[in-house]
Amino acid sequence: MNSFITKVVRFHKAGDASVLKIEELPVAEPSEYELRFKVKAIGLNRAEVMFRNGAYLETPQFPSRLGYEAAGVVDAVGKSVTNFKVGDRVSSIPAFSMGQYGVYAEHVVLPANAVAKCPESFTAQQSASIWMQYITAYGAMIEIGQLKQGQRVLITAASSSVGVAAIQIAKSQGAIVIATTRGKNKKQFLLEQGADYVIQTDAEDLVTIMADITQDEGAELIFDPIGGPILSQLAEASSKSGRIIEYGALDSEPTPYPLFTALAKGLIIQGYTLFEITQDKNRLENAKKFLYPLFNTKKLIPIIDKVFAFNDIQQAHKYMEANQQMGKIVISVQGNINW
């Protein structure tokens, strides 16, 4: 029997941030292969805004929960869970149905295979800001893109949390990073994160600047969450036999396929989401083996842009939709960033 009540964010129809409601629900007990943790921090992602709008890979079933990333302390485990115990500091890995297991809550029950122990030196807020962005970037940069030292990688919309993670991972491999942003106010931030070059796309021509930077060689790997008409420019900015990885659809316009450029250059253009990694046990373990040492040596450090209180979840979503952030937007649930 449930013994206490917890606060949960749900929405009963698709729409703008005002549809998000904080409701009180009984705390669930974990089943055999699940665990429960008391949430200290929540990391926001663009996917949750799209899900709330009814424009995501998964369609919400109302009333719907939402949220992929949270960190906290385990307070209950299912009888067949052996790799976690009460008191462990953990964070969630996006490997589940958001509508079923959404983590915008004070207490969260998740499948144990969608949970990982937090890097020892990270705060709760940092730990709630790692798996979505770094696994997404890892899968594209390392597993699929096979990025090597000295290669050129173009990262668009680079001030997002995934963009920053991609810059950090690419630099950890010795790659040459070219980042794009629409506003000049984000250029210095991206340089500080390790980008070798930053192209301001609302004032500079992407194809021309890329040709100058790469001496007409182009980028061997392009990592893009925008889609839409920019794909034609990215194809022009790619090297021969280059690879363009599309992992989002920030542009609502149709995405024309750049057939002749792709033919002329022998391009690989592919869609990708982190679920290719997180829903495959072996690939997820490989991702962890790659990422944990870089977390522990501080070669990868999540950048937190702004922290909101749990009761301000609507304002946090509005802030994300304003595209002002540089790094991760975080919700503080328990107040103190330390454990």
Instruction: Quick: pLDDT tens for 92-107.
Output: 999 999 989 999 999 9
Find the mean pLDDT for residues 165-174: 96
Lowest mean pLDDT among 23-27, 35-39, 223-227, 321-325: 321-325
**What are the pLDDT digits (tens) for 286-305?**
999 999 999 999 999 999 99
pLDDT score of 337 more than 80: no
Q: What does the DSSP 8-state code read for residue 140?
A: I
Supply the pLDDT for residue 323. 83
pLDDT at 12: 97
pLDDT of residue 338: 62
pLDDT at 335: 61
Model confidence at 1, pLDDT cuts 50, 70, 90, reads: very low
Condensed to tens digits (0 to 9), the pLDDT of residues 52-87 reads 999 888 899 999 999 999 999 999 999 999 999 999
Q: What confidence score (pLDDT) does residue 24 get? A: 95
Q: Are 22 and 310 in contact (CB under 8 A)?
A: yes
Alpha carbon distance 41, 271 (integer Å): 30
The whole-angstrom separation of Cα 121 and Cα 130 is: 13
3-state secondary structure of 146: coil
Which residue intervals of the chain are DSSP H helices? 46-52, 98-101, 124-127, 131-138, 161-172, 187-192, 206-214, 230-237, 259-265, 275-278, 281-296, 313-321
pLDDT tens digits along 119-131:
999 999 999 999 9
What is the average per-residue pLDDT within 301-323?
A: 94
| Mean pLDDT (the chain, rounded) | 94
pLDDT score, position 223: 98
pLDDT the model gives residue 168: 96
Mean pLDDT for the stretch of residues 43-49? 93
Residues in the chain: 339
Interatomic CA distance for residues 315 and 260, integer angstroms:
44
Report all structural domains of the chain as residue ranges with CATH numbers, in order of start: 5-130+302-332 (3.90.180.10), 132-275 (3.40.50.720)
Range with lowest mean pLDDT among 39-43, 158-162, 225-229, 248-252:
248-252
Terminal-to-terminal C-alpha distance of the chain: 29
pLDDT tier for residue 339 given thresholds of 50, 70 and 90: low
Distance (Å, rounded) from C-alpha 240 to C-alpha 290?
29
Q: How confident is the model at residue 251 (pLDDT cuts 50, 70, 90)?
A: confident
Q: Binning pLDDT at 50, 70 and 90, where does residue 324 land? A: confident
Residue 327 is predicted with a pLDDT of 84
Looking at the predicted structure, is the pLDDT value of residue 189 above 90? yes
What are the φ/ψ torsions at residue 176 (nearest 5 degrees)?
-95, 120
Q: Categorize the per-residue pLDDT at 336 as very low, low, confident or very high, splitting at 50, 70 and 90.
A: low
Q: Is the model's pLDDT at 204 over the cut of 90? A: yes
Tokens 């983590």 belong to: 103
CA angle 146-244-187, nearest 5°?
95
Instruction: Decide the pairing of beta strands 328-332 and 304-309.
Output: parallel
Average pLDDT rounded to a whole number, residues 208-221: 97
